[in-house]
């Protein structure tokens, strides 16, 4: 079980060698040095440069910062913990967020607000207001909180389209690293379609990688394109030391746009659920187990009273050891969903998440021994983590 704000193990294959690296969720940063209300890292010096002396890139960055930074907020959370003697000890942390509508809804990371007993938002002019949790989705590390500032028109950050991004595109991050309000850093989109594991164990897909410097306290802040539109929500860094080494990750804004209405309306996101535990097949594993197919999902467990159980899917009956891995085998092998090939457990979940909803039916093609079986499953709702 992953601990909140712990490390996630990222495994890659480089030149035939397995590489294991620490991937850190950006924690709500420790309360940093005091910064005067409204202060920014781009505050003008004694004399402003002549606009004619600025490069086009500088003009662009200044324009984006002036447009977006008023809508970026500083989130302070208070959570309760226990010391060695089981005394209650309040713990303070900080993170970032940004206003997404004039009603006061703020988008941030789930891990910024998780377990918080109270939340306080600092606006760009230094105004501090209490906030309440509107909704959260641990499976995508997203949350929406809400503030109320009667009689005041709130600035809003426009949401862009993460589906149209290209590697090499300009990337701008604004947030509150180490409590330093509304810091701006720049870089490029280093890669697209990375995958991270949420603390719930579910895969977050389509992750944006950037070399724009992000650090603890940047969590929940916007990653922007050159038009000042949000393309991602900064959430994690690769860091052996805990600081930025130029490998940061952001949740794609299209994922957030799909979930925000649910979070505001119901306080949570509904995810379709099949109700199985499965193992992704590879050619090597299929040969070792003498299976009839080389790609698909080997069903190891069918949860009681789940949609899969009601539809008649079968889990494994015996344990075997393959190399250093213990597997439960003998269950159905899912090879297709709605006639579309299924190559892995993550791809099956991705198909259900993107193409199906709770209460909808998915047609599964199975290999059961030497037979091909087709079943229809009415999807349930993924149970909330305890």
Residue 247, helix vs strand vs coil: coil
Examine the residue annotation and report whether 47 is marked as an active-site residue of this protein.
Answer: no
72 bridge partner residues: 98
- Catalytic residue chosen out of the listed positions 69, 77, 141, 211: 141
Q: How many CB atoms lie within 10 A of CB 114?
A: 18
Residue 209 φ then ψ, to 5°: -100, 135
| Residue (of 120, 234, 126, 127) closest to 177 by Cα position | 234
| Residue (of 88, 108, 103) closest to 28 by Cα position | 108
Residue written as token pair 């998915």: 362
Residue written as token pair 């080389």: 294
| Residue (of 35, 82, 373, 280) closest to 180 by Cα position | 35
| Residue (of 80, 77, 127, 136) closest to 105 by Cα position | 136
- Catalytic residue chosen out of the listed positions 77, 190, 219, 244: 219
- Is residue 99 within a helix (H) or strand (E), and if so which, with residue range? strand 88-99
Examine the residue annotation and report whether 219 is marked as an active-site residue of this protein.
Answer: yes
Which DSSP state fits 159? B
- Catalytic residue chosen out of the listed positions 111, 239, 271, 306: 111
Handedness of CA 250, 251, 253, 254 (dihedral sign): positive
Examine the residue annotation and report whether 111 is marked as an active-site residue of this protein.
Answer: yes
Catalytic residues: 111, 141, 219
């Amino acid at each position: 079980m992953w601990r909140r704000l712990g490390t996630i193990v990222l495994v890659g294959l480089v030149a035939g060698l397995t590489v294991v690296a620490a991937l850190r969720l950006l924690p709500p940063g420790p309360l940093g040095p005091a910064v005067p209300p409204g202060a920014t890292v781009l505050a003008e010096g004694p004399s402003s440069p002549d606009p004619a002396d600025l490069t086009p890139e500088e003009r662009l960055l200044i324009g984006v910062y002036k447009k977006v930074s008023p809508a970026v907020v500083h989130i302070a959370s208070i959570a309760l913990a226990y010391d060695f003697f089981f005394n209650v000890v309040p713990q303070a942390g900080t993170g970032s967020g940004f206003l997404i509508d004039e009603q006061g809804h703020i988008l941030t990371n789930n891990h910024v607000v998780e377990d918080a007993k109270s939340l306080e938002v600092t606006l760009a002019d230094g105004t501090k207001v209490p906030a309440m949790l509107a909704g959260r989705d641990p499976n995508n590390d997203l949350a929406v909180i809400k503030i109320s500032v009667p009689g005041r028109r709130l600035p809003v950050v426009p949401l862009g389209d993460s589906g149209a991004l290209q590697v090499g595109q300009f990337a701008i991050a604004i947030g509150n690293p180490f409590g330093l309000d509304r810091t701006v850093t720049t870089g490029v989109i280093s890669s697209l379609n990375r995958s991270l594991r949420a603390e719930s164990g579910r895969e977050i897909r389509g992750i944006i990688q950037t070399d724009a410097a992000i650090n603890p306290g940047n969590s929940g802040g916007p990653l922007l394109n050159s038009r000042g539109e949000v393309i991602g929500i900064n959430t994690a860094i690769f860091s052996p030391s805990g600081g930025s080494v130029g490998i940061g990750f952001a949740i794609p804004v299209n994922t957030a746009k799909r979930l925000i209405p649910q979070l505001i309306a119901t306080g949570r996101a509904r995810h379709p659920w099949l109700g199985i535990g499965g193992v992704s097949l590879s050619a090597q594993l299929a040969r070792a187990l003498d299976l009839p197919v080389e790609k698909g999902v080997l069903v190891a467990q069918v949860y009681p009273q789940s949609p899969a159980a009601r539809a008649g899917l079968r889990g494994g009956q015996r344990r075997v050891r393959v190399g250093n891995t213990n597997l439960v085998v003998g269950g159905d092998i899912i090879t297709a969903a709605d006639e579309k090939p299924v190559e892995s457990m993550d791809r099956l979940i991705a198909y259900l998440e993107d193409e199906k909803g709770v209460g909808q039916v998915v047609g599964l093609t199975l290999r059961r021994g030497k037979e091909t079986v087709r079943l229809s499953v009415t999807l349930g709702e993924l149970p909330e983590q305890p």
